Structure 1
C-alpha cells in the first residue's frame, strides 16, 4: 500500500515545529522507522509530516552531572557509538538488541520512546533508570518521568500538539550494577520477554536498592522495586521471581508463545540478570 497524501515541512526552529503541529493534525517525523510503516498501511493519515531533523537543539547529545541527554532527532546508531553514553552502561548493553543495525542508523532514541511499543527495549531501559522525558507544547515545556510518560500500548503522555525534545538518562553511580537480557525468535525481532535490572549496594556489599523492569510482558514496560526479594532470596531468586512473574506478565498468548511461556521466560531472565547486576555492583564492573 501507499501512504495517503500529506504535506511535508522541515522547520529549522522548535517554535516553528510547534506552530506546524498546532491543531493536532500533524505528525512528527524524526527517523521514520515506526511512522513510515504506519503511513504505508494507512493506519495513520496525518495532514502534515513535520520533519524535526533540521532543528539544532534536537540533533545533539550531551553529558553532564545531570545525566546523558539525547535530543529527539539523534539516531540510535550515533548513541550506540557515542563515548559519552558510557556514563550509562545499560545503553551499551541494550542498544545492539534494538532492531537491526540498518534500522538503528535511521531510528531515534526518542522516537522509540514516543512510539511506546510494549516490546521495545528503550522505553524499558528509560523506566528502569528513572529517565526524564522533556516535552514542548502549547503550554510550554515540561519534564515527565519515563515511568509516567508511557501510559499504555502505543500511548504516551504527549498530546497531539506536543513534541518530545529530549530524554535524559541518569549516570551510573559508584557500587551500582546493571543487567539486560531478552529472548526473541530472531535477533532484532520484537522480544517475547525481556528484563532490565539495576542494583545498588552499600559499602558493606548489602543491597540498598534493586529495580526490575520487564518488557514484552504487558501493554507497557513494568517496573518493580525488588530490593526485599534480592535481600531475602539472594541465594536462590528463581522461586521468588517466578511468583512475581505470575503477577506482572499479563500479555495474551499468541502464535509466538503463550502467557505461561512468557512468564517462564521472564522469570529465568529476571533472576539471572538481577544476580549479574548484584555481582557487578559488588565487584565494580558495570557491564561485563
Structure 2
C-alpha cells in the first residue's frame, strides 16, 4: 500500500558522501532518512583494497562501507533499502517517489547518488554483457581463474582492475588508446612489475568477438590509433574500465549541471541551483573523485542543510490571517 512520509532531511545515496552526511545530520538532531539505492555502499563495495583512507593502511572497500553504514545507524539515521525513481524539486517540501511505492516529502534534500561505470557503446559489448563482458573485476574476476582476460582503459580504475585480475587470470592484457597511462605512479609501478600483465599501447577496442551458442566472449578486436592496423587479442573475459559518469538522471532536468552531467554547486559549499537541495560526492566532483573527498563533501552537505533549515525556521511568518 502506497504511503507518504514527511522528513526533515532526506539523503539519496549510500556511498561515503551519503553515509557521512547521515552521521552529521543525525548528530544535528535532524532525524535524517537515507535511501540506499540500487547499490548500497556505492562504488567502494566493488573495490578490493583501499589504501588511501585515513587511519587504515589497507581496508577492504565493502568492509569500510559496512562500518560507515553502522556508524550512521548508531547516530540515529533511518536507513531504507529502496531506490528513488523520481524527484520533484519545483516546490517545497521536495518530493521523492520510490520503487516500493512510498512517497517522501522533505524540507531539505541531500543528493549523494555517486557515479556509474562508463561503457564503450559497442553493439557487441552490449550483446555480451554478463557473458564475458563486465565493468567490475571484483564482482566477476573469480570466474576467470586460469583464463586470459583483457582490460580496456588507462586510469586508476583500469590499472586497479588489471592488478586485481592477476589474482585469478593466467594473463591480463591492458589495452590503452594512448602511449602512457594516466593512473597514479604507484599503481603503474605495480602493473609494470607484474609478470602476468601485458600492455597493448595506442590501441582502441573496435569490437568484441564471441560465440553465439553458448553465448560467450572469445576475444576483442583492437585498432592501432596511429597506423590503423587491426589486432585480435584472444580472451574469455573483457573488462571495461574507462571511468565513471555522474548518476544525475534524477535531477539533470531540474538542477544546473556541467561537464557531462555533474551537478553544479556553489564554490565552497554543497548548495545547488535550488535552495534547500544539496549535492555531495562524485555526483558533483569531476576533479578529485576520491572516497575521502566525497566523505568531506557529505559532512559539508549536512552542515549546509542544518544551516538552511535553521535560517528557514527563523524567517518571520508573513501569513496574513483571513478577516472573518
Higher fraction of helix: 1
Same-fold status (TM-score > 0.5): no
Q: Normalising by structure 1, report the TM-score.
A: 0.28
TM-score under structure 2 length normalisation:
0.26
Q: Which has the higher contact order (CA 8 A, sep 6+)?
A: 2
Higher gyration radius (CA)? 2
